[in-house]
Amino acid sequence: MATQDTTGKKFMRETDARILIDRRLREADWDIEDKNQVSTEETSQTGRADYILKDSRGRAIAVIEAKRFSVDPASAKQQALSYAESINAGFIFLSNGEEIYFWDYKYRPEQKVATFFSQRDLEKIQTLRLEQKPLSVIPIPEKYYKGSEWRTPRSYQKEAMQIMDKAIEGGKRKMLLVMATGTGKTDTIALYLKRLFEAGLVNRALFLVDRIDLGVQTKEVFDEILKDYPSKLLYGGKQRDESSIIISTLPTLYSQLSLFTSGYFDVIVSDEAHRSIFGTYNGVLSHFDAIRIGMTATPSGYVDRNTYKLFGCWDETEQKGKPTFVYSIRRGVKDGFLAGYDIVQIDTKVSLEGVNFEGEDYSPDDLERKINIPARNEQVVQAYFAEEEKREPKKPRKAIVYAVTKRHAAQLAYYFNQARPEYNGRFAEIITSDTENPRGAIRRFKLEEMPTIAVSVGMMDTGIDAPMVENIIMVRPTQSPILYQQMRGRGSRLDSRINKKSFRIYDFAGVTKYFNDESYNPYSEIAKAKAGIPWGTEAKDFVEEDIEIPAGFIQVAESAEENADVIIKRAHIEVGAEGEKIDSDDYQTAWERQVQELAQAEPLVKKVKEGQELSNDESQVLADRLNSPKYYFNEANLREAYRYPIGTLNDFIKTALGIQNLPTEEQLYEDRIGELFEAWMIDKQFEPEQAKILRLVKSQYIARRSPIEISIFNEPIFQHIGGLNYVLRVFDERTLKTTIRELNEGVFAQ
């Protein structure tokens, strides 16, 4: 009689494991009934194979060794190797149905993977091997074409590529590039991907971005530098063509992960890798058996989102990150590749002390989140122009304003436009997720004279390439060092067209003071004036040390009680360019009514209702159509209204049509824990006996909803496997404590 194993299943026989293996082969597009694709129980003089996978010409390409649940699949390595070599199959899978190991035995050790590889995946790897060249014979180009001109790779970009070459040739498959904003991370990785393609190391690449507008910007770069390797921006829906490079946001790819096998991509580049790659989306990286490259200006060392660990650059002994390559903002300024910066701190009384309204105290961090004070926002604008009037030469300077909410952004834009009436309301423009055609608005800001000022909420703090920006205006408080550095970085690019060598940070929220940041600018107007150096002279002597900047001045706002606006309640979402407050439930009702009406007349919504799958291009068209000024129905707003942060537009359309229900909080919680756990397990590559114990730990955490303690192994649920004594034989005590801590902090706590 079969007894229950540590995962709660009652499968003990090899035949039971094969039921799951058969299912997972079908999911990877293998036709297990077609003997030209899959044959079973093949024998030879060297032994027997449970499965033989064949290429499109019917030749053996991989062997699967199947074991029952209680057996470590990796224990059959030698038996599988002998058979694979005898039939000239290049690859081995070891599986008990639940765990799958992929062994490219001529090139690297076995690796735990999420799925079996498809026939096309395995043939792709074989073809690459026939064409492969050492990276050392692929020259780094002396010049490349971008932006209607020929450019020369900078010395540090070449250095980064050479270091990555050595890492890959040394067998490393995880790398992290830490490069300051404005140093050309996208150009660097585009040039490097071209080298990987030319060397025959990769055939398909995935480039992950934080937002779709950054994907559009990336595609423009790739279309120039990588014109021989077509790229496609993934909007959702079925891909009708296969491109060399897929560019996608994490939520979009996450929603379609089941369509991709673990062997589909050969390299994955994660842009701005400090952000949403963690948590649920970590499973996107772990799903693929690919070279993994992270790029960021601001890596994180937090326990639950450690960029260094994610990309194999964490030193456990020293407990610090050691990136593959680093190029800092200060080095960039010193080398003349980045603009220096001056900080001007301007505080209002309300910003420093908070406010009391209707008997309730609000801290400075509550401003605009819980209470709105128009007088303060008007004074921010007046103080900004007062400082700008002191500068030479007299001219409007492109600026990005970081606001707290959409309503806050609308108010600031209003006061900026009121202060410069000669521009007829075009001086400042709001750019948020609800802006009609936000990509067009960003393009106008970058390329046209107006608007001069872009007021942003969450749209322009990362990834935006806008070298003409000379001022950063911080009206949004933050205690995130990563977000601060990203916002600061929007001004760091040089622009020879306007002779830009430096930029200013106008800090109205005490952000620079919180991080103890001081100006770093060899061309500083402020520092040179302080030192008696004439304006326009290069002050090279200042580059070696921080420049001390005066704290600015304090302006006193009018009576907070007289000018306080409504207290914002959190049961709403903000939509539209003006940040209109709408009850979340009302927004859901309006969405569902609108989709049901469109199902009668809109062909693409009708197509979804009829159960057909939208193409990638159709998904893009429908998304643009729904996010019109009349509705502002977009993924960002819908996720907030439904409180479902991983939902896609397609999910919300199907929900409105009654085709599917969004998961309950309980389902979402269990799914999230399960996905985080599986991603963590693949990254850690535990031994099968360890994996069994940890799967039982996961099930106990879901049941209890409280952190796991070592004492749990003395409880009855673990006694049938031998309790704590058995667990300590599988893990040594130190490893067990470390593993449980990582589970609690890095998986369960999220």
Domain chopping of the chain, boundaries: 14-131, 137-327, 340-563, 572-656, 665-748
> Which has the closest alpha carbon to 97: 74, 54, 68, 62?
68
Is residue 300 a contact partner of residue 307, using CB atoms and an 8 Å limit? Answer: yes
Q: How far is CA 80 from CA 44, 102, 146, 213, 544, in A?
A: 12, 12, 50, 48, 61
Query: Which pLDDT belongs to residue 558?
Result: 29
CATH class belonging to 340-563: alpha beta
Of 408, 409, 414, 419, nearest to 383 by C-alpha is 419
Q: Omega of the bond prior to 451 within 30 degrees of 0, cis?
A: yes
Would you state the CATH architecture of domain 14-131? Answer: Alpha-Beta Complex (3.90)
Predicted local distance difference test score (pLDDT) of residue 269: 95
Residue 245 near residue 205 (C-beta atoms within 8 A): yes
Q: How many Å apart are CA 679 and CA 254, to the nearest integer?
A: 13
Range from 214-228, 265-279, 431-445 carrying the lowest mean pLDDT: 265-279
Whether residue 350 contacts residue 534, with contact meaning beta carbons closer than 8 Å, is answered with no
pLDDT at residue 173, as a whole number: 93
Rounded to whole angstroms, the Cα distance separating 156 from 419 reads 44
- The predicted structure's pLDDT at residue 692: 84
pLDDT > 70? residue 402: yes
pLDDT for 290 equals: 95
Q: Output the six-digit token pair for 491.
A: 């001004």
What is the average per-residue pLDDT within 350-364?
46
Q: For residue 148, what pLDDT band results from cuts at 50, 70 and 90?
A: confident
Q: Do the Cβ atoms of 73 and 97 come closer than 8 Å?
A: no
Write down the pLDDT at residue 223.
94
For 417-448, the pLDDT digits (tens) are 999 999 999 999 998 877 877 888 888 999 99
pLDDT in tens, 17-31: 788 999 999 999 999
**Maximum distance among all alpha carbons in the chain?**
92
pLDDT of the residue at 630: 65
Contact in structure between 247 and 218 (CB atoms under 8 Å): yes
Residue 626's pLDDT band (cuts 50, 70, 90): confident
pLDDT, residue 367, reads 54
Pairwise CA distance, residues 373 & 411, whole Å: 10
- On the CB side of 478, CA atoms within 13 Å amount to 20
* Lookup: tokens for 77: 């390595």
Residue 56 scores a pLDDT above 80 = yes
Q: Within a 10 A sphere around the Cβ of 479, how many other Cβ atoms?
A: 10
701-716 tens-digit pLDDT: 888 888 888 888 888 8
pLDDT tens digits for range 168-196: 999 999 999 999 888 999 999 999 999 99
- Among 194-203, 338-347, 375-384, 701-710, name the most confident range: 194-203
| 213-222, 298-307, 634-643: least confidently modelled range | 298-307
Superfamily designation of domain 137-327: P-loop containing nucleotide triphosphate hydrolases (3.40.50.300)
For residue 325, pLDDT beyond 70 = yes
d(Cα 167, Cα 161) in Å, to the nearest integer? 10
- Residue 374 burial (CB count, 10 A): 14
Question: Hey, how many other C-beta atoms are within 10 angstroms of the C-beta on 597?
Answer: 11
14-131 and 340-563: same fold? no
Amino acid 125: pLDDT = 96
* Average confidence score pLDDT of the chain: 81
Lowest mean per-residue pLDDT among 332-336, 498-502, 541-545, 577-581: 541-545
What pLDDT is recorded for position 528? 55
Q: List phi, psi (to 5°) of 19.
A: -60, -45
Q: Is the pLDDT of residue 144 over 50?
A: yes
User: What is the average per-residue pLDDT within 237-259?
Assistant: 81
Contact 354, 477 (CB under 8 A): no
Q: Please say if the pLDDT value at position 50 is more than 90.
A: no
200-209, 419-428, 443-452, 719-728 — which is least confidently predicted?
719-728
As a whole-number percent, the residues of the chain with pLDDT over 90 amount to 35
Point out which residues pair with 301 in neighbouring strands.
306
Prediction pTM value: 0.75
Question: With bands split at pLDDT 50, 70 and 90, how would you rate the model's confidence at 102?
Answer: very high
Residue range 498-555, pLDDT digits in tens = 999 999 999 988 888 888 888 888 877 665 555 544 433 433 332 222 322 322 222 2
Nearest to 338 by CA among 496, 182, 500: 182
Q: What is the pLDDT of residue 366?
A: 56
Weakest-pLDDT range from 203-212, 522-531, 613-622: 522-531
In 413-569, DSSP assigns E strands to 428-431, 453-456, 471-474, 502-507, 553-555
DSSP string over 614-652: PBHHHHHHHHHHHSSTTT---HHHHHHHHT-TT--HHHH
